[in-house]
Structure 1
Amino acid sequence: MKQKSLKKNSILNVIKTLSSIIFPLITFPYISRVLLPTNVGKVNFGSSFISYFSMIASLGITTYAIRECSAVSNDKEKLGKKSSEIFSINICTTIVAYLLLAITLMTFRKLDVYRTLIIIQSTSILFMTLGADWLNTAMEDFKYITIRTLAFQVLSLILMFIFVRDQTDYLKYAAISVFSASGANIANIFYRKRFCKVTFTFDMQWKKHFKPILLLFVMILAQTIFSSADVTMLGIMRSDYEVGIYSTAHKIENIISQVVSSLAWVVMPRMSAYYAERDYEKINDLLRKTLELLMLIGIPAVAGTCMLSKEIVTIVGGNNFIEAALPLSILIFSFAFSLIGGSFLGNMVLLPSGNEKIYMNICCITAVFNVGLNYLLIPKGGACAAAFTTAFSSLLIMILLLIKKDKNIRLDYLKQAMLSPCIGAIAICVFCRLTKTFVSGVFLKTGVCVVGSIIIYGILMIVLKNELCLQTLDTFKARVKK
């Protein structure tokens, strides 16, 4: 297989991620005003509940499959065999997940009011398994992934405005959301034949696959508890309204973090190949460039979100969701800590190198810590307490990952990578504060702050001679001259 350009793949995956950002930015202001906080809370509770069974079905297979399939991507026969084995395991785990879901719905009568909603949302598990999207990622086919995602999101957007017209239409909204996020996987059943033949088989080395898959499963279980426990516990210990407020803040923060995580999925297949060769020179060079990009994008995003939290929440959800501003300001620090922690050291260093056991232990420790802190703080603090525990737990993950870092991985460039973006972030804060003082109107204020901050930040990066920014500028100049 011809090695594809990481730059092109990064751009394609960022486009895909941006479409995933733009889609909710268009739909959520409409949905929040139509469904109102209570029904938004119901849909998010159902989604949080289903995430546990989705995690059982996926069982850590996605990350494992990307790593293993990318290592044999040049051999169609080996790729087909390995893909079929992993796909077969995924089918079995999906059956187990649906059996457990059925038992849970029949056992816990308090879930009766959510039953139809949960059944609709559970179809995403089946679509995810049948699609085996991990094969496209392993083959670095981000062009197809991007085009397919855009097409289904546009179609879903049209369906949403047609069918979701009243607060009682939350079931329709849930169905369309599933279609948008998972329906595109059905196209993979036919498309993946270009890479290899993927079929169900019992002829495999079960033990060989299950040990790393189970380690990744425990890790993802801990991550799922970490990300979903706050919503679930808010629903149980507080109210649907509180869930609606917190999930709005969490959704906005998640939109920002998706851009960062998209870089990890692009880098992971290539990084796995470098680790297989034990080529630490290439590994450290790629990690340095990746971290510089994370800092360049992530740090100003944190500053801007903190300064415009009320305006962002008002634009996205309306005045009914204004209480989500403080949780958003807290949650964005969870994203800040993950720039170095989970997103970089976890997903870009430990997983490609096969050190999932270390990452699993760290995720388990922080998940237990997060649940315990939620149990103590949520009854009194509500959404703000849930946001605080998430941010604090992300800090703990970062610290533990730094302690357990491979000695062959250099981070001596970390301070230099953070310096100019931090100076730019301070300038953004000052500019936004002044703008909010003299400019009125939510949309005008936000627009001036965003456009002005981008211009000021860009100029500062050039003046401060940010290496990545200068390289991008030189590339742009060269293309213009052509």
Structure 2
Amino acid sequence: MSVSKNYILNIVMTITGILFPMITFPYISRILMPEYLGKVAFSQSISSYFITLSLLGIPIYSIRELSKNKYNQYEFEKVFTELIIIGLVGSLISFVFFQIMINNFDIFIEHKSLLMIFSVQIFLSFINIDYIFIVLENHKRRVIRSLILRGVSLFLMINFIKKDSDYIIYACIIIFPELLIKILDFYSVKKYLNFKINYEIKKHIKPLSILFLTTISISLYDQIDTTMIGIINGDEAVGLYSSAVKMSRILIPIIGALSTVIGPQLIYNIKEKNKKEIYKKIDIFLDFNFFIGFQMVFILEILSKNIIIFFAGEKYSSASSTMQVLLPIIIFISIGSFMGGRILTSNNLEKIPLRCNLIALFLNISMNFIFIPKYGILGAGISTVITEGINCILKSLSVKKLYKDYVILTTDRIKYITIGIIISVLIKNFKENLNSLDNFLVIVITGSIYICLYFFILLMFKDKIILKYLEVISEKLKNIKKKYGRSIFDAKQK
């Protein structure tokens, strides 16, 4: 299946992933309010460390190793079976450590019920096998699965969450439909398990240990702000911060979908040392980030307060400034993850992303200790965006060092940023005249004007991406006209 078709399937899944929280979050946030939403978010942040611990870096490593052996059935089954065994051991060890922790530290007593619910995810984390469907490029299954999961979850939330004390039910709805789908996934791929082989577990330990340290540092890095806010400022502050984070991260999966699609092909090209194809894949990803990704940031920056109030409610309005600060992470996380997880890791340079993540983690924790007590959730946002930016730059410089003749910041990419900044300044002034309107209307009108201006200016500059897609659309229309025009003529002849 082509990159474009796979990307469309991933976009369908991604859009449903965006629509799902856009539908559920306004409902959940207004019922649970910041305090109870914060309790769930804090408990999730604690359990996420142990889920990452149990996964041992397997999801990233598996895509690389299974992609290399995709056309060798015996080796494919061998690697998959070995990784499942390692994952099972990791899940059990992590689950035991988690139980010891929540039963021996007083700080977790208030959240113990929630933590016990989330511990089920840790126990069954070895069945997180989405990577095999990515390698096999079975994106159709991934789309159908995600649609079923989100549909079931939406139904359960609307019918069973009616008051703030239902936050325990909310936690159950977060994990149990997903676990059921993953169990079915695991059952469907059991044909790739081959327990009659001679296992070579040892050969996976060294590369997995590096990836494990990388992923655990990422997990700490992603969740430490929420954890520290919960400890320092309490559950209500976590609820406000989580709303800002959710709104600022909600569009990241759109860009990540492209990385997921081109990942296996990029790994294969790197293995074959096909520099032309490697550069082509990197171009596709980076062009998309600058062409679309930066525009997402600019639009959300203009509309941050309207979006927070519309989706979460007036009680969360104080989180809008934090959302504004966090928005650049859309670009930083997307490019940083691609540079580290797809390019450097595929070149067996796992130590570089690990080093970058550890530097960012150290900086993030240090700045959180300084900024959170002084500025609260805004301080956590400042710490996060600075460290994400540094992490992204370090990984990009490492890729540049690896591929010296590749140009990351091209003239066209700078052009997209410049145009976005100019439009943002113009629209911010115009938006002041819309403040009397409903938040939804402000979002729709402002977003539409931004998009129209952006594409109009690019057409004036005869941008290559715009012209390319206009040419493709024109060709498709010609084919449709030719096909159906002939059909109509044939019908008349008969």
Bigger radius of gyration: 2
Q: Distance in 1 between matches of 2:320 and 2:226?
A: 17
Distance of aligned partners of 1:222 and 1:413 in 2 relative to their CA distance in 1, 3 Å threshold: closer
CA contact (8 A) 2:305 2:317 kept: yes
State the match for 1:251 in structure 2: 246
Is residue 277 of structure 2 the alignment partner of residue 289 of structure 1? Answer: no
Q: Which residue number corresponds to residue 397 of structure 1?
A: 391
Unaligned runs of 5+ in 1: none
Equivalent in the alignment of 2:350? 356
**1:166 is aligned to 2:160:** no
Partner of 1:51: 48
In terms of mean alpha carbon deviation, does 160-169 or 437-446 score higher? Answer: 437-446
> 1:410, 1:187 → 2: CA distance?
46
Single out whichever of 30-39 and 198-207 deviates more from structure 2: 198-207
> 1:263: Cα distance to partner?
1.9
Query: C-alpha displacement at 1:296, in angstroms?
Result: 1.1
CA contact (8 A) 1:284 1:409 kept: no
User: Among 39, 62, 66, which residue is 1:65 paired with?
Assistant: 62
CA distance in 1, matches of 2:255, 2:346: 17
| Cα deviation, residue 183, structure 1 | 3.5
The answer to which of 441-450 and 124-133 deviates more is: 124-133
Q: 1:481 aligned to 469, 478, 482, which one?
A: 478
Matched with 2:235 is 240
Partner secondary structure for residue 73 of structure 1 = coil
Whole-angstrom CA distance in 1 between matches of 2:470 and 2:180: 39
CA contact (8 A) 1:131 1:187 kept: no
Structure 2 equivalent of residue 416 of structure 1: 411
Give the Cα–Cα distance (whole angstroms) in 1 for the partners of residues 139 and 415 of structure 2: 31
**What pairs with 1:71-150 in structure 2 (closer than 5 Å)?**
71-150=68-147
Of 327, 330, 336, 2:322 maps to 327
Aligned partner of residue 404 in structure 1, secondary structure: helix
CA displacement at 1:413 relative to structure 2:
5.3
The structural deviation recorded for 1:393 is 0.3
RMSD across aligned positions (CA): 1.8
Q: Per-residue displacement from partner, 1:77-118 (whole Å, max 9, x unpaired)?
A: 221111000111000000011001111011112212211111
How much does 1:67 deviate? 0.6
Kindly state the Cα deviation for residue 16 of structure 1 after the two structures are TM-superposed: 0.9
| Pair 235,461 (structure 1): closer, same or farther in 2 beyond 3 Å | same
User: What does 1:419-434 correspond to in 2, within 5 Å?
Assistant: 419-434=414-429
Give the match for residue 365 of structure 2: 371
Aligned amino acid, residue 115 of structure 2? I
Counterpart AA for 2:258: L
Q: Hey, what's the Cα distance between the residues in 2 that align with 1:280 and 1:54?
A: 36
Question: Counterpart in 2 of 1:217?
Answer: 212
Structure 1's 24 and 256: CA in aligned 2 closer, same or farther, altered over 3 A? same
| Alignment CA distance shift 1:56-1:201 (3 Å) | farther
Query: Secondary structure of the residue that 1:352 maps to in structure 2?
Result: coil
Query: Counterpart amino acid of 2:319?
Result: A
CA distance in structure 1 between the partners assigned to 2:70 and 2:464 by the alignment? 33
1:346 is aligned to 2:343: no
The 1-side partners of 2:372 and 2:244 are apart by 16
The answer to whether the 8 A contact 2:50-2:94 is kept is yes
Q: 1:453 aligns with which of 424, 446, 450?
A: 450
SS at the partner of 2:62? Answer: helix
> In structure 2, which of residues 200, 205, 226 is the aligned counterpart of residue 231 of structure 1?
226
Distance 1:409 1:99, change over 3 A: farther
Distance 1:180 1:452 in 2: 39
Read off the aligned partner of 2:413 and give its amino acid letter: M
Structure 1 distance, partners of 2:270, 2:463, is 29
TM-score, length of structure 2 as denominator length: 0.92
Report the Cα offset of residue 252 of structure 1: 1.2
Range with bigger deviation, 266-275 or 435-444:
435-444
Identity %: 29
Distance 1:475 1:277 in 2: 30
Rounded Cα–Cα distance in structure 2 between residues aligned with 1:192 and 1:372: 44
SS at match of 2:112: helix
Aligned to 2:482: none
Aligned letter for 1:215?
I
Which stretch of structure 1 is more off in the superposition, 325-334 or 252-261?
Answer: 252-261
Structure 1 residue 404: Cα displacement = 2.2
The offset of 1:192, in angstroms, is 2.0
TM-score, with structure 1 as normaliser: 0.95
Q: Is the 8 A contact 1:234 1:382 kept in 2?
A: yes
Report the CA distance shift for 1:197/1:399 in structure 2 as closer, same or farther (over 3 A): closer
Across the two proteins, how many residue pairs are aligned to each other? 476
- What's the CA shift string for 1:181-200, capped at 9, x where partnerless? 4432122123225xx42256
Distance in 1 of aligned mates of 2:121 and 2:6: 26
Mapped to 2, the partners of 1:284 and 1:370 lie a distance apart of 32
Aligned-partner SS, 2:250: helix
| Separation of aligned partners in 2, 1:22 and 1:146 | 14
Residue identity opposite 1:267 in structure 2: I
**C-alpha contact 2:55 2:91 (8 A) present in aligned 1:** yes
Per the TM alignment, residue 412 of structure 1 is displaced from its structure 2 partner at its CA by 2.0
Evaluate the alpha carbon distance shift between residue 170 and residue 134 of structure 1 in structure 2; reply closer, same or farther with a 3 A threshold: same
Letter aligned with residue 25 of structure 2: F
In structure 2, how many angstroms separate the alpha carbons of the residues matched to 1:182 and 1:454?
A: 39
TM-aligned CA distance change 1:50 to 1:165, over 3 Å: same
Q: CA deviation at 1:353?
A: 1.9
Matches within 5 A, 1:378-393: 378-393=372-387
Of residues 29, 34, 40, the one that matches 1:32 is 29
Judged with a 3 Å threshold, the aligned counterparts in structure 2 of structure 1 residues 180 and 457 are, in CA distance, closer, same or farther, namely farther
Of 392-401 and 78-87, more deviation after overlay is shown by 392-401
* 2:308 is equivalent to residue 278 of structure 1: no
Kindly report which structure 2 residues correspond to 1:465-476, keeping only aligned pairs within 5 A, or say none: 465-476=462-473
In 1, the alpha carbon distance for the partners of 2:198 and 2:38 equals 45
> Is the contact between residue 60 and residue 341 of structure 2 (CA under 8 Å) also seen in structure 1?
no
